[in-house]
Amino acid sequence: MEVQPSNVRRRVLALAVAASLTEAGFDGADKMALETLVEMMQSLLTEIGNSTKGYCELACRTEPVVGDVIMALINMGVRLDGLEKFAYRPGRIILPAPTTSTQPKQPSILQAGVKLSHPPHIPSHLPPFSRPPCLHPHT
């Protein structure tokens, strides 16, 4: 059974929310309450990302910069004066990076013959010719 990437992201986000609750002094949380907080955090991050993308595109860029994120946060009403202090607070819980399982590599299929290149009168964007044994079974 293959794990969906969104499920992995959701689990990591749930761990981050649980770590924040632990830092705030909670010993445990109801499953529905935790799920609600995870949903709220996901919505917040999605909105920050969408707003950041909007500011990036407004400036005719394809890659966002820190200024785009700052503008998105300010536009959402998030105060930035305590952000650095929060990021470097003592006793914060650091989550380990999620482990990724590697998929076994499919063995490559051996090909007989040599691939022919296109003659000058055939455009190069067309697919390559079939393998020679398919074209000339008697050779």
pLDDT in tens, 18-67: 999 999 999 999 999 999 999 999 999 999 999 999 999 999 999 999 99
What would you report as the CA-atom Rg of the chain, rounded to the nearest whole angstrom?
Answer: 26
What's the gap between Cα 130 and its chain centre?
Answer: 37
For position 1, what pLDDT does the model report? 42
Q: Quick check: 69 and 52 in contact, CB under 8 A? A: yes
* Positive/negative CA dihedral, 79, 12, 41, 70: positive
What count of other Cβ atoms lies within 10 Å of the Cβ of residue 17? 20
Residue 134 has pLDDT above 60, yes or no: no
According to DSSP H, which parts of 5-137 are helical?
Answer: 5-23, 31-58, 66-75, 83-87, 132-135
Superfamily of segment(s) 5-87: Histone, subunit A (1.10.20.10)
For position 104, what pLDDT does the model report? 74
The pLDDT tens digits of the residues spanning 97-128 come to 877 777 777 777 666 666 677 788 888 888 87
The residue extents of the domains of the chain are 5-87
Residue 84 has pLDDT above 60, yes or no: yes
Phi, psi values for residue 23, rounded to 5°: -60, -35
Structure token pair of residue 136: 């000339």
